[in-house]
């Protein structure tokens, strides 16, 4: 293998390690003396491109509030003598490039300001408005701008449009119950939708309280805004609520069962797909109570995976729900 090939292979392995650590929420990686020696021995071209030592890795803003209940505060710090900090790879090119700022400046105020800018941009979204199939009112996100868990629904309904907040109607109440079972106040997570406007039925004139799921073109037009939100919030895990949200987020089709049983990522962040809260409500309204229990059990299995992902403590009682 030629020298440049060896460098490319080494670089790619390093990037893989950094990505994996980022997904796991690590702030630093430990370099053995041998790895450090090998990096030092790399030719000058590589060293020039290599990240500067001493900066924090990308996974979490240095000034972010530590919320013990999400497990963030419980992360074991790597002792400085055992680790070398490695800077992040840069953000993927996107429609709303998030300004590159030093990690320590990515605090809560910064995140709020960025989200506000995305909100303003979404109000004008020519691609969304140009479709003519969405109502005018923007329903943006709610919650913690530095949340470890982001919940993504499909699009606002009538209740959300009235309140201009996501998940405030019956599905939102169901989502609140799920969050409560996880021991999470709503303010601790970030809740958003793929599409930020309520979809129209026909021309919307006779729609009343009816809602419809967003279509593929509506989700495609909205995705850059969601991507920007995720880049700002940088959660450790994303939960896609329902098949439609999963299709919009992951840009591929599939059944809910297939989505649930596979591993997914969005911008390097793990995505767990689960049933939409409306599905739970529909199951509860059916005559057969065992179907509702079964649906709840599946959602709870998914939420346990989410909790494990972010290091949220799971009590024996929570582990045994629905058993
Ligand atoms: N369903 C969704 O997918 N999103 C909402 O905000 C409300 C209901």
Residues 185, 179 contacting (CB under 8 angstroms) = yes
Separation of first and last alpha carbons in the chain: 55
| CA proximity to 248, closest of 268, 231, 273 | 273
Residue scoring higher pLDDT (191 or 28): 191
The encoded tokens of residue 301 equal 């299995």
Q: Could you tell me the distance, in angstroms and rounded to a whole number, from the CA of residue 66 to the centre of ligand 1?
A: 29
Residues 200, 207 contacting (CB under 8 angstroms) = yes
Query: Given a cut of 60, is residue 23 above it in pLDDT?
Result: no
Q: Could you tell me the distance, in angstroms and rounded to a whole number, from the CA of residue 156 to the centre of ligand 1?
A: 5
Q: Could you tell me the distance, in angstroms and rounded to a whole number, from the CA of residue 56 to the centre of ligand 1?
A: 36
Q: Could you tell me the distance, in angstroms and rounded to a whole number, from the CA of residue 129 to the centre of ligand 1?
A: 19
Residue scoring higher pLDDT (202 or 77): 202
Q: Could you tell me the distance, in angstroms and rounded to a whole number, from the CA of residue 197 to the centre of ligand 1?
A: 10
Q: Could you tell me the distance, in angstroms and rounded to a whole number, from the CA of residue 263 to the centre of ligand 1?
A: 23
Residues 62, 104 contacting (CB under 8 angstroms) = yes
Distance CA 293, CA 274 (A): 15
Residue scoring higher pLDDT (1 or 318): 318
Complete domains list, the chain, with CATH = 2-53+67-74 (no CATH), 103-319 (3.40.470.10)
Residues 6 or more apart from 30 whose CB is under 8 A from it? 78, 82, 83, 84
Q: Could you tell me the distance, in angstroms and rounded to a whole number, from the CA of residue 282 to the centre of ligand 1?
A: 14
Mean pLDDT of 234-256: 98
Give the pLDDT confidence score for residue 150 in this predicted structure.
98
Per-residue model confidence as pLDDT tens digits over 50-105: 332 322 223 332 222 222 223 333 222 222 222 222 223 334 446 778 889 999 99
Give the pLDDT confidence score for residue 30 in this predicted structure.
57
Query: Given a cut of 80, is residue 27 above it in pLDDT?
Result: no
Report the pocket of ligand 1 as residue ranges, CB < 6 Å.
Answer: 153-157, 160, 166-167, 169, 171, 193
Query: Given a cut of 50, is residue 127 above it in pLDDT?
Result: yes
* Nearest ligand 1 atom, CA 276: 3
Query: Given a cut of 50, is residue 4 above it in pLDDT?
Result: no
- Rounded to 10 degrees, what is the CA torsion of 278, 279, 284, 289? -170
The encoded tokens of residue 196 equal 């930020």
Give the pLDDT confidence score for residue 261 in this predicted structure.
97
Give the pLDDT confidence score for residue 97 in this predicted structure.
81
Give the pLDDT confidence score for residue 322 in this predicted structure.
78
Q: Could you tell me the distance, in angstroms and rounded to a whole number, from the CA of residue 186 to the centre of ligand 1?
A: 15
Residues 17, 29 contacting (CB under 8 angstroms) = yes
Query: Given a cut of 70, is residue 292 above it in pLDDT?
Result: yes
Across 204-234, b (16+ Cβ under 10 Å) vs e yields eeebeeebebbbeebbbbbbbbbbbbbbbbb
Give the pLDDT confidence score for residue 38 in this predicted structure.
56
* Nearest ligand 1 atom, CA 171: 8
* Nearest ligand 1 atom, CA 193: 4
Give the pLDDT confidence score for residue 22 in this predicted structure.
54
Query: Given a cut of 60, is residue 34 above it in pLDDT?
Result: no
Q: Could you tell me the distance, in angstroms and rounded to a whole number, from the CA of residue 118 to the centre of ligand 1?
A: 19
Mean pLDDT of 162-173: 98
Q: Which residue has the tokens 């803003």?
A: 61
Best mutation site among 140, 158, 172 for ligand 1, i.e. most ligand atoms within 8 A of its Cβ? 172
* Nearest ligand 1 atom, CA 242: 3
Q: Using a pLDDT cut of 70, give the percent of the chain over it.
A: 71
* Residue 5: band (very low, low, confident or very high) from pLDDT cuts 50, 70, 90: very low
């Amino acid at each position: 293998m030629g020298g440049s090939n060896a460098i490319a292979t080494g670089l790619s392995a390093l990037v893989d390690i950094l990505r994996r650590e980022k997904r796991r929420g690590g702030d630093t990686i430990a370099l053995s003396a041998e790895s450090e020696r090998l990096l030092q021995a790399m030719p000058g071209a590589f060293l020039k491109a290599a990240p500067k030592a001493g900066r924090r890795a990308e996974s979490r803003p240095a000034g972010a509030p530590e919320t013990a209940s999400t497990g963030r505060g419980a992360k074991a710090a790597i002792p400085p003598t055992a680790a070398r900090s490695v800077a992040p790879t840069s953000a993927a090119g996107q429609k709303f490039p998030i300004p590159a700022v030093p990690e320590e400046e990515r605090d809560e105020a910064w995140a709020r300001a960025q989200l506000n800018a995305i909100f303003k941009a979404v109000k004008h979204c020519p691609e969304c408005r140009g479709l003519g199939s969405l109502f005018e009112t923007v329903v943006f996100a709610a919650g913690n701008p530095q949340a470890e868990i982001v919940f993504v629904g499909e699009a606002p309904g009538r209740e959300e449009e009235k309140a201009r907040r996501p998940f405030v109607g019956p599905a939102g109440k169901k989502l609140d119950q799920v969050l409560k079972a996880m021991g999470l106040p709503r303010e601790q997570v970030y809740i958003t939708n793929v599409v930020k406007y309520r979809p129209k039925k026909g021309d919307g004139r006779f729609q009343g309280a009816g809602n419809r799921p967003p279509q593929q073109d509506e989700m495609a037009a909205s995705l850059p805004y969601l991507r920007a939100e995720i880049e700002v919030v940088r959660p450790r895990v994303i939960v896609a609520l329902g098949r439609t949200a999963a299709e919009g987020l992951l840009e591929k089709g599939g059944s809910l069962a297939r989505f649930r049983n596979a591993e997914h990522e969005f911008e390097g962040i793990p995505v767990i797909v689960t049933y939409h809260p409306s599905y739970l409500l529909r199951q509860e309204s059916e005559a057969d109570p065992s179907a509702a229990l079964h649906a709840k059990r599946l959602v709870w299995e998914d939420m346990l995976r989410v909790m494990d992902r972010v290091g949220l403590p799971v009590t024996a009682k929570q582990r045994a729900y629905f058993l």
